[in-house]
Amino acid sequence: MADGMSGRLAGKVALIIGAARGIGAGIAERFHEEGARLMIADIEEEAGAATAQRLKGKFVATDISKPADADRAVEATLSAYGDLHIVVQNAGIYPWSLIENISPEEWDTVLGVNLRGVFLIARAALPHMKAKRYGRFVFTSSITGPRVTSPGHGHYSASKAGINGFIKSAALEFSAYNIAVNGVEPGNILTESIEKQRSEAFIRGMVESIPLGRLGTPRDVAQATLFLASDEAAYITGTTIVVDGGQTLPEGKDFRLGPA
């Protein structure tokens, strides 16, 4: 086996929502390398199907804000593989709007995907995992909301902080069935979406705020997600791993020591 690949998810079936591209695709790729059988679920059908084909998995079109779609994603996974061990809910949207300009409809859309989707997929997958007395949920939260924020992200921040609260409650409720519930909190991760939606100046400013001196990659988030999805994390539940290059550590701007 190549370096970094040890078959940690061999024999496991993973449903990854929001895996057509970006962080989700990075998670799917890493899971594939470790032997997982994949169901890719995404609202982007063409890109999602392409990712699934590349990683020898299956694809199901899914709007995770809709209960019927969440149920169908689980049903499609069980139909294709006969089992389900790991659920990752990574789908998320982040329109930029000041609070005074957020319409109730936009608020509901953001929380519908980011937060309601977490609840819906947990509810859909829970009966199977309870019956098996085994399961791993990993939810993509963010440092934005639980730890920091910036103007224009009121709804996004609320949704991600809500995910962290849900993780704790679900971990407690599901613990009797050997089901672990955890999350990752990415910082600024360089994805296609970030490159399209944010200016070069914005990206440079983010790099300057990160002690490790670079934006993260989808693979950086995938490594943490892999750990939480694996049996190496069997005694970890109800928590999150911050993947931010140290961004949330400094008290102010003048934090750099050593070589420039």
Give the distance from CA 61 to its chain's centroid: 17
Catalytic position from the list 81, 94, 134, 156: 156
109 conformational bin, left if phi > 0, alpha if psi -120 to 50, beta if neither: alpha
The residue among 194, 227, 190 whose CA lies nearest residue 30 is 227
81 is catalytic: no
Tell how strand 58-61 and strand 37-42 pair up: parallel
For the chain, first and last CA: distance in Å? 39
Tracing tokens 């995938």 back to the chain, one arrives at 222
Strand order in the sheet with 58-61: 58-61, 37-42, 13-17, 86-89, 135-140, 179-186, 240-243
Q: Are 14 and 35 in contact (CB under 8 A)?
A: no
Residues designated catalytic: 156
